[in-house]
Amino acid sequence: MRILYVLTTLGIGGAEKQVIDLAQRMASRGHFVALIVLKHADEEWPVKLPVLRLNLPTTVLGIARGLRFARKFLALFRPDILHSHTFPANIFARLLRLTLLFSRTVPAVISTIHNVHEGGWHRMAIYRLTTPLAAQVTAVSKAASDRYVQLGAVSASKMTVLTNGIDTGAFTPDRSRRRRVRARMGADVFVWLAVGRIAPAKDYPNLLRAWAQVRAAHPKALLWIAGEGDASSLLLEAEKHLSTASQDSGVHLLGLRRDILELLDAADGYVLSSAWEGMPLALGEAMAMEKAVVATDVGGVRELAGDTAMIIPPGDSSALAEEMLKVMGMGDKARRALGREARQRVEQNFSMSAKADEWESLYSGLVEQETA
């Protein structure tokens, strides 16, 4: 098959990483694969596949010009599948499909939704209006699927759930690597890791409120937060809730990192404090790395973690602190056993290899429908 993926950016995010991993797996299986990227990001995931970069301005004229360039690329690449991800790319792919109405060959369009919240009522109205242009709409979690169907943005008949996949081959614990990274990071105490951009969805203020309670009970514990964004707001939040200056509070703001695998190995526990999510990729990676997990009950978290994580309501910092303290109070043996259960759940239900099989089957079915 000839598969063309459409992304808003190649920025360092979970959705982007998931698409790139999937695209590269499809290419390794012998399919012809390329990508269209709408906008530039300052920091990007590396890609070893053909990429058409549109650098799309957010103007009507700019979008029209981008559609014209993309249409010319499609005429050369002749995709069977046009698979887009996140709202801007989903709408662009549907508009691109509209420009091909009178073409001899028209690819099957798949739109994937990666979050339970992709915008307000106006975006939902645009989704509803353009959904007929998509052959299939998928969501990364049942929670996301249910919400968009309930909002009327997608019809239930066109929606399906296909969850994120985790590369369990790459995300495998390594004791020697753990010792090496902990020594380099100066971590000889209990370390919590949180991963995700500094944004309202991640609700780091909730985490820092919980951390004040954890730190009071364990004055030497560390909290690493890895993610891009304006750290000044978090520094102010840390100073507000912790009695010491943030640099002495055990909170380490690591910024944008490309070594999440190593950080997960070095950490003792993983914490997710989000206000909303789709299917958090970093959480699945933490489970694959056999980490004890405390997470808020948002999006597809419960679908992903099952009973292998401590799951608490979003926004409840006291409950978050209580579960973090409970994990810290476990013996090493009990914590490792919980981590092994988490990895086993990922291997059985969310391996990237199995998800690639599911996508390949969906692609083949849609191509057969188009050619029937």
For the stretch 65-77, pLDDT in tens is 999 999 999 999 9
Going by pLDDT thresholds of 50, 70 and 90, the confidence category of residue 372 is low
Query: What is the per-residue DSSP string for 327-347?
Result: HHHS-HHHHHHHHHHHHHHHH
Average pLDDT, the chain: 92
Contacts (Cβ under 8 Å, ≥6 apart) of 229:
197, 198, 199
Helix (H, G, I), strand (E, B) or coil at 361: helix
Q: How far apart are CA 106 and CA 125, in angstroms?
A: 25
- The whole-number average pLDDT for the span 268-292 is 96
Q: Would you place residue 370 in the very low, low, confident or very high pLDDT band (cuts 50, 70, 90)?
A: confident
Read off the pLDDT band of 276 (50, 70, 90).
very high
Whole-number Å distance between alpha carbons of 196 and 204: 10
**Residue 102, pLDDT above cutoff 70:** yes
**Distance of alpha carbon 78 from alpha carbon 33, whole angstroms:** 11
pLDDT above 70 covers what percent of the chain? 95
pLDDT digits (tens, 9 = 90+) for 313-361: 999 999 999 999 999 999 899 999 999 999 999 999 999 999 999 999 9
Tell me: the pLDDT tens digits for 82-93?
999 999 999 999
* 245 — pLDDT class (breaks 50, 70, 90): very low
Q: Which amino acid is at 5?
A: Y
CB atoms within 10 A of CB 200: 11
Q: How far apart are CA 269 and CA 94, in angstroms?
A: 41
Residues of the chain above pLDDT 90, percent: 84
pLDDT higher than threshold 70 for residue 244:
no
Report whether 159 contacts 132 (CB < 8 A). no
Average pLDDT over residues 86-108: 90
What's the pLDDT score for residue 228?
A: 87
pLDDT of residue 101: 78
- Give the pair of three-digit tokens for residue 279: 């299917």
Fold topology of 2-165+352-371: Rossmann fold (3.40.50)
> CA nearest 346: which of 295, 279, 294?
279
Question: pTM to 2 decimals?
Answer: 0.89
Does residue 240 carry a pLDDT above 80?
Answer: no
* pLDDT(176) > 70: yes
Q: Is the predicted pLDDT of residue 100 greater than 90, yes or no?
A: no
DSSP string covering 200-255:
GGG-HHHHHHHHHHHHHH-TT-EEEEE--S-THHHHHHHHHHSSS-GGGTTEEEEE
Half-sphere exposure of 110 (CA within 13 A, CB side): 26
Q: Which CATH class is domain 175-349?
A: alpha beta
Residue 134 has pLDDT above 70, yes or no: yes
E-strand ranges in the chain read: 2-7, 32-37, 51-53, 81-85, 108-113, 136-139, 159-161, 191-195, 222-226, 251-255, 269-272, 292-296, 310-312
Q: What are the boundaries of each domain within the chain?
A: 2-165+352-371, 175-349
The alpha carbon of 147 is separated from its chain's Cα centroid by a whole number of angstroms, namely 18
Query: Same fold for the domain at 2-165+352-371 and the one at 175-349?
Result: yes
- pLDDT for residue 12: 87
CA 225 to chain centre: 16
- Look at 96-105, 148-157, 229-238, 331-340 and tell me which has the smallest mean pLDDT: 229-238
Q: In what order do the strands lie in the sheet with 108-113?
A: 51-53, 32-37, 2-7, 81-85, 108-113, 136-139, 159-161
Residue 150 burial (C-beta neighbours within 10 Å; 0-12, 13-18, 19+): exposed
pLDDT in tens, 13-61: 889 999 999 999 999 999 999 999 999 998 899 999 999 999 998 888 9
Q: Which residues pair with 109 in a beta bridge?
A: 82
List Cα–Cα distances, 332 to 45, 92, 328, 337, in angstroms.
Answer: 35, 50, 9, 9
Question: Residue 246: which pLDDT band, with cuts at 50, 70 and 90?
Answer: very low
Query: Do 74 and 99 meet the contact criterion of CB atoms below 8 Å apart?
Result: no
